[in-house]
Chains A and B, each alone.
Chain A
Amino acid sequence: MLANVNRATPYLFLAPAVLVMAVALLYPIGYMIWASFLDWNPSQRIGEAEFVGLRNYIYLLGDAAFRESFWVTIRFAAIVVTVEMVLGVGLALLLDRKLRGMTVLRTIFILPMMIAPIVVGLMWRYMYHPTVGTLNRMLESVGLPSAPWLSDGTWAFASIVIADIWQWTPFIFILALAALQSLPQSAMEAARIDGASGWQLIWHVKLPLMLPVLIVTALLRLIDAFKVLEVILVLTNGGPGLSTEIVALRIARTAQEFQDLGTAAAMSNLLLILLLVLTILMFGYTRLTERRAARLAAAREAEIT
């Protein structure tokens, strides 16, 4: 902290950012909460919309299509995060060694997540294409029947999961690798001197030590998985039927196709609450581990003196 500065200085530094966030982020969120209690279509000003209380929410709870898309979202998020965590952490454990080309390798691995989700959707849509698509051609060339990648509900769900795994496993990998490489060497040495095998080392030393970072990584990824929209939009646009219609997509469709802004706002609100809970969980968990680390450090200090 800097001493003796003008008391207005911090506010001057902060003002522009706070102003923009208030005008274009907080106000819209408040507006959305208000709109979720209205019967509102896009041609009306918000003042002309009729107040309907909780009707939008009650409608959503009884709406089979919304419930379906809610479960699709949960299933999608749970599956991709689990698979990506296992693959990403597994790869990090495998590749955690002194490797000459590691920098190049990491650069290549982060490419998929830097590319626009729209483009990722496009690439996979091409590969999944029933006739010109690469995947069916590959199946054909080894004599297998072609697969209905995007035209059958179950297959389509698997297809969007695969595309997401392709794009985001590297994220887990990079973070897990960073966590691994910052582990205290002393613990590893001690375990090795005690004769721990490779697997024991991983199960009893490396994974427990990495756990805090892994939990935060999983939560970050989970929050992002609820936000996925563009890839699915390009690949299936929610179909066939409702098999891949995640909530974010349903919000967009309710607003743009069905012109029902009130219900869309209510849905956004529910999604927001879900994400808020996850964020607070993550935040609380970080605080907890930090405090525990601080207490440990203090205890160690006390022991020494």
Chain B
Amino acid sequence: MHGYRGQVLRVNLTTGQIKKETLDLQTAQKFIGGRGLGSYLLSKEIQPTVDALSPENKIFIVTGPLTGSPAPTPGRYMVVTKSPLTGTIACSNSGGFWGPELKNAGYDLIVLEGRAPKPMYLFIKDETVELRDATKYWGKLVSETTTQLLADVREPQARVLCIGPAGEKQSLIAAVMNDKCRAAGRSGVGGVMGSKNLKAIVVRGTGKVALAAPEKTKELLAILARKIKDNGVTGQGLPTYGTAVLVNIINEAGMYPTRNFQQSYFPTANKASGEALADEYLTKRVACFRCPIACGRECEVGEEKGEGPEYETLWAYSANCGVDKLDDVIRANNLCNEYGLDTISAGATIACAMELAEKGYIKPSEVNGPALKFGSSEAIIEWTRKMGAGEGLGAKLAQGSYRLAASYGVPELSMSVKKQELPAYDPRGAKGMALQYATSNRGGCHVRGYLISPEVLGLPEKIDRFATAGKATWAKAFQDLTAVIDSLGLCLFTSFALNADDYRDLLNAIVGVNWTKEEMFTAGERIWNLERVFNLAAGIKPEEDTLPKRLLHDPITEGGSKGHVAQLAEMLPAYYQERGWTPQGIPTKEKLAALAL
């Protein structure tokens, strides 16, 4: 078998039974792998209406056929489950080294079912697979868990995926962490793992991914390596400054959400930017498995050494909380990694709490810690810790901003879509991004169709960020191609340099299929529709394809996007039409049949 390894590991945590199943190659290819295959299996195996934190929910940890292969950036794996935060399908994607190690051990995916009677971890070394007691690791932070597990299993080259205390406490914004600092961050997938009493998965693999056409792959890799190196973003911007290089451009364009999206320009953004990070804190660039870009940052602040912060994290804790002290943003990021929290949702929830306190909804008497005030470094650090540890009001924050704001009767102060916090781009300044946020199948998210690329960065071509016409077509194309890239097991950042033909060529050479570009896009569209159908069956209404009222009705007051609101109503009908759905946003029978669903 080429690309895929051919084995599925099914673990029933309730009974302790471990089964090895043969991968159904035809199904795998139909959905490519990764996100697509995981979404198909989740749809097939669980009732979409199940309680996400109940034993009836399942977790699919899935690699793509290119994960672990020699393709550029093949470090990705995905955690697919029903989200306890949004109630939608969740697919959280992470890099590092864990995914390729699972492939090397011989498995394309792991299915986790039921709930263990006590804390357990899964140990995998090639054909050896064991469920082991994890009582001694329960309650431990991510780096300590990782270090201890590696020592205890006596496999120094093994890779560790685990949850931190936030996941154990079933926080709805908990992440699944791997290789200490990489995160399958979004949608509360760490909380689902915690609900199953599974602390970690340690994997060591000594095999490798076979290639269908080794010579052709080699030729192709040389061409693609050159493209990645010659591209300004992947060859220079990301390696030099990391993702945080975006701080200044997004701020200068007047779409850098500030103080819970109350403003969109942060005057002191430059003090906490990618340039400042590189000048003052960067100790080493970090690359995921076989990645030529190396956008990861190893940073030092005082005694602390950690990875990050990424752009989204930096924004969530700086501008969005009104803090410009980069030291403290780095410390908050490190805490998220240690407790296993989604940095976007964690920072955005603190920002929401700050607005709730500012407007008098949260009373000082409730605040068992530093005052929740915009600009407070002490608040971002201590409330992150309290969220991670589930202490007092921190436990309420750990359920995310929507439930927090709703508990005070003002859910509209949560800057979220489908209850998931929006990331670091004010969609009033990029109209296509507004449409993409509203229609993302996992709620508020930037990596389901990154229209910032054409609307602001000019890649692959510059389009007018304030126009609404044509954005439905852009949104669909980006969403479908992203579903393909995720499912292949590659990093989305390759798409700054590579095009759809390049991905098709890689797939054909490594897996040994003979797909056209159109067939590949159809697979992406199939995955998108499958996710939509799951969400509708889970009870998510098309009316939830919307944005917070503030973004729809309140124009931006200053800066490069002044005067703009998100004109969703102008774009949504065109989007549903572009997708071949009913005007109400429901995929038609004909569309689903055409996609072989």
A and B together in one complex: no
Hey, which bits of chain A sit against chain B, CB under 8 A? Answer: none
